[in-house]
Amino acid sequence: MTSRVVHVVAPSRLHFGMLSFGQPGVRQFGGAGAMIDAPGMRLSITAADRFIARGPLCGRVANFVEEARRRSCWLPRELRCRIEVESAPRPHIGLGSGTQLGMAVAIALNTFFEGSLRTAAEFARAVGRGRRSAIGVHGALEGGLLVEAGKHACDEISPLVSRVELPATWRFVLLTPKGEQGLSGVAEEGAFDRLPPVPPATSADLSRTLLLELLPAAVEGDFERFADSLYRFGRVAGECFAAQQGGAFAGPRSMRLVERLRASGVRGVGQTSWGPTLFALTNSMTEAERLVGALRHDESAAEVEWTIAAPNACGIQTLPALSSA
């Protein structure tokens, strides 16, 4: 009997903030973010007598597979495979796990069944991702620091306008309050419906910070300038969501932790997406470990889970299908 297997490893995504939403006649959403190597996602696909999904998030895997079957002409009518999620981040904490899972499933199916998909937009279309932000869509194939332009009503996927590899020595310390989740699904859609439009002056300010400060600092590997502009960009972008999350960050607890981190000298602090995960940028693993050590004894960081993540520069990785008799 012949057995085949494809292993897929996917990064997580940090979303630093959006440029615009709610204003008619202009591109919606857009923004910046970065891919990180932890907490990563791992899944495998093997031959089976029928389709089977196993492991954490297996229900979402089944939904993505059904979406791909409906949208992709290259998949066989009888999908005889088993997809097992071996590890995955906790969902709805701001790390883009839904998009990374969908893209990983599409890439795994495409590799296993020798499909024709090649671009980020094609993979996203196959599983119905990228309706708003496309940072995780492009990052799934590209890795790096990413800037997307936003989309018009007729666009499927927001175009990628810039990608920069962050220095490999930098580290993001992720701080996730235990038991908390950010908005997703219907609740997220309702929140966007209720939010006031981003003022054009705010979009212009965010665009200037992104183009003239954050991106050049990334290209030059200037840690101090990058950290300062990262905090400023995220705070201004977060204030656009204040009507739903109570301020620039997701609640008083997050605000206190941000203030504590800034007071301790950490300059590149922000919230990813709706949170509740915060991130603190450090210039080395040594500094990241020192920060975690200090916060373990800080009551402002009680009941917080920690992860140290390196920048990801390659996106989703696959090991090609192997065969054995």
Kindly tell me if the per-residue pLDDT of 176 is higher than 60: yes
Kindly state the tokens that stand for 301: 């960081």
Strand partners, 15: 33
Residues recorded for the chain:
325
For residues 118-127, give the mean pLDDT: 93
Residue type, 75: L
Kindly tell me if the per-residue pLDDT of 17 is higher than 70: yes
Kindly tell me if the per-residue pLDDT of 152 is higher than 80: yes
Q: What percent of the chain has pLDDT over 70?
A: 97
Q: What percent of the chain has pLDDT over 90?
A: 74
Closest by CA to 310, choosing from 9, 37, 26, 13, is: 37
For residues 227-249, give the mean pLDDT: 95
23 close to 198: Cβ distance less than 8 angstroms: yes
**What pLDDT is recorded for position 19?**
96
Query: What pTM was estimated for this model as a whole?
Result: 0.93
For residues 8-18, give the mean pLDDT: 97
**What pLDDT is recorded for position 2?**
46
pLDDT band of residue 72 (cuts 50, 70, 90) is confident
pLDDT band of residue 184 (cuts 50, 70, 90) is confident
**What pLDDT is recorded for position 324?**
44
For residues 199-226, give the mean pLDDT: 97
**What pLDDT is recorded for position 156?**
85
Kindly tell me if the per-residue pLDDT of 213 is higher than 90: yes
Kindly state the tokens that stand for 102: 């969908």
Please name each of the domains of the chain with its CATH number. 3-165+315-324 (3.30.230.10), 171-309 (3.30.70.890)
Kindly tell me if the per-residue pLDDT of 31 is higher than 70: yes
- What residues have CB less than 8 Å from 171, skipping those under 6 apart? 281, 282, 283, 284, 285, 287, 288, 308, 309, 310
pLDDT band of residue 298 (cuts 50, 70, 90) is confident
Whose tokens are 């309706």? That residue is: 131
For residues 30-48, give the mean pLDDT: 96
CA–CA gap between residue 259 and residue 278 (Å, rounded) = 12
- For residues 324 and 119, the model is more confident at 119
pLDDT band of residue 246 (cuts 50, 70, 90) is confident
**What pLDDT is recorded for position 189?**
82
**What pLDDT is recorded for position 178?**
86
CA atoms lying within 13 Å on the CB side of residue 182: 26
Average pLDDT, the chain: 92
For residues 298-319, give the mean pLDDT: 88
Q: Flag the least confident range among 104-113, 226-235, 238-247, 314-323.
A: 314-323
**What pLDDT is recorded for position 120?**
93
**What pLDDT is recorded for position 321?**
54
Closest by CA to 14, choosing from 270, 294, 315, is: 270
**What pLDDT is recorded for position 1?**
33
Kindly state the tokens that stand for 43: 């899944």
pLDDT band of residue 262 (cuts 50, 70, 90) is very high
